[in-house]
């Protein structure tokens, strides 16, 4: 169904709205089982589909039968309005958290995985898995409390101690709610690169937005305190703020608390790493190469 054009989706959506939602309005006022809350197109490329939102007391089976008449050759979904996130879109740099946590971090990026039509969000373990305490299926919310997905996987962190393993990455992924529209700002990444001293970079964080910096050290080791426990990391790179007159930002440093999980990119949009922590005026980040076991793949919202 990926070769079906947007025009065909839009035509079917319009016909359904005019012939069913509008004409059944009076009926739905008397009979709630036919109440259709709304309809919209979701996704891009082969993942595009029409979503029909129904009230919790609606007759889902009956509405499926109606929808099939209009969407027989198209991807579509009938979904209870109570099951979707309040927000309709999700962008890298958004503030996210585990369940009802009081603190938040950053959605670093949005990716695909091989053999899956779903979208996946990348952040830190300490942000959305709380240093190994999270479990698969745990709810991920925006910092404002809207549900945006479920925790899928994370790299275990090894606390500092006699039997510790040296850490190289602090990362976790979650499956994004499929009714959300995704976007990547300010620009879609073009690939990956290694950290190099004096390389100019930027990040988009939930606390400080877009800031620019310069890599001042690579292949470093440090003890990092995450949620009141110390962890030893190696192969870190450090970034210092580099103010850009053309892009004013009131924050004096490259990151602040709440930016953990942001991705670090070159000025030509190659991903270098993921923000780990702040120590003084420096931001410490883990190289992106260590997330390869997640099997993440790039997606381009401009390719349909």
Domain total in the chain: 3
Q: Does 115 score more than 90 pLDDT?
A: no
pLDDT at 51: 74
pLDDT at 269: 84
pLDDT at 61: 83
Half-sphere exposure of 122 (CA within 13 A, CB side): 29
Domain membership flag for residue 200: yes
Where does a domain end: 83, 110, 127? Answer: 83
Domain membership flag for residue 79: yes
pTM equals: 0.71
Domain membership flag for residue 301: no
Where does a domain end: 38, 65, 83? Answer: 83
User: Above pLDDT 90, what percent of the chain?
Assistant: 52
pLDDT at 121: 97
Contact assessment for residue 179 and residue 188, using Cβ atoms and an 8 Å cutoff? no
Contact assessment for residue 167 and residue 234, using Cβ atoms and an 8 Å cutoff? yes
Domain region containing 241: 191-294
Higher local confidence (pLDDT), 224 or 14: 224
What is the rounded distance in angstroms from the CA atom of residue 196 to the CA atom of residue 216?
Answer: 8
Where does a domain end: 68, 83, 98? Answer: 83
Question: Could you report the per-residue pLDDT of 156-191, keeping only the tens digit for each?
Answer: 999 999 988 999 999 999 999 987 888 888 778 889
Contact assessment for residue 204 and residue 210, using Cβ atoms and an 8 Å cutoff? yes
pLDDT tier for residue 136 given thresholds of 50, 70 and 90: very high
- Identify which of 8-22, 80-94, 235-249 has the greatest average pLDDT: 235-249
What is the rounded distance in angstroms from the CA atom of residue 233 to the CA atom of residue 240?
Answer: 19
- Token duo for residue 68: 């099939």
Give me the mean pLDDT over the 297-302 stretch. Answer: 67
Q: List all residues 6 or more positions away from 1 whose beta carbon is below 8 Å from its beta carbon.
A: 46, 73, 74, 75
Q: What kind and span of H or E run contains 6?
A: helix 6-16
């Amino acid at each position: 169904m990926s070769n079906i054009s947007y025009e065909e989706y839009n035509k079917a959506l319009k016909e359904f709205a005019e012939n069913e939602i509008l004409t059944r309005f009076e009926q739905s006022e008397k009979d709630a089982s036919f109440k259709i809350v709304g309809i919209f197109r979701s996704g891009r490329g082969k993942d595009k589909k029409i979503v029909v939102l129904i009230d919790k007391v609606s007759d889902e089976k009956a509405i499926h039968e109606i929808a099939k008449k209009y969407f027989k050759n198209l991807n579509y979904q009938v979904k209870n309005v109570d099951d979707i996130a309040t927000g309709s879109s999700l962008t890298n740099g958004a503030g996210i958290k585990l369940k009802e946590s009081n603190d938040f971090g950053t959605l670093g990026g949005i990716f695909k995985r091989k053999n899956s039509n779903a979208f996946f969000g990348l952040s830190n373990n300490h942000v959305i898995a709380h240093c190994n305490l999270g479990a698969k299926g745990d709810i991920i919310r925006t910092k404002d409390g809207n549900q945006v997905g479920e925790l899928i996987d994370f790299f275990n962190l090894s606390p500092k101690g006699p039997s510790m393993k040296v850490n190289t990455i602090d990362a976790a992924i979650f499956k994004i709610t499929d009714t959300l529209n995704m976007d990547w700002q300010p620009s879609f990444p073009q690939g990956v690169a290694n950290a190099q001293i004096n390389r100019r970079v930027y990040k988009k964080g939930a606390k400080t937005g877009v800031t620019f910096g310069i890599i001042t050290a690579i292949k470093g080791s440090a003890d990092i305190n995450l949620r009141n426990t110390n962890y030893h990391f190696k192969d870190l790179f450090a970034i210092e703020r580099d103010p850009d007159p053309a892009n004013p930002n009131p924050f004096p440093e490259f990151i602040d608390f709440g930016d953990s999980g942001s991705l670090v990119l070159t000025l030509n949009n190659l991903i270098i790493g993921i923000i780990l922590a702040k120590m003084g005026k420096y931001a410490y980040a883990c190289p992106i190469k260590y997330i390869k076991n997640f099997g993440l793949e790039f997606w381009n919202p401009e390719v349909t």
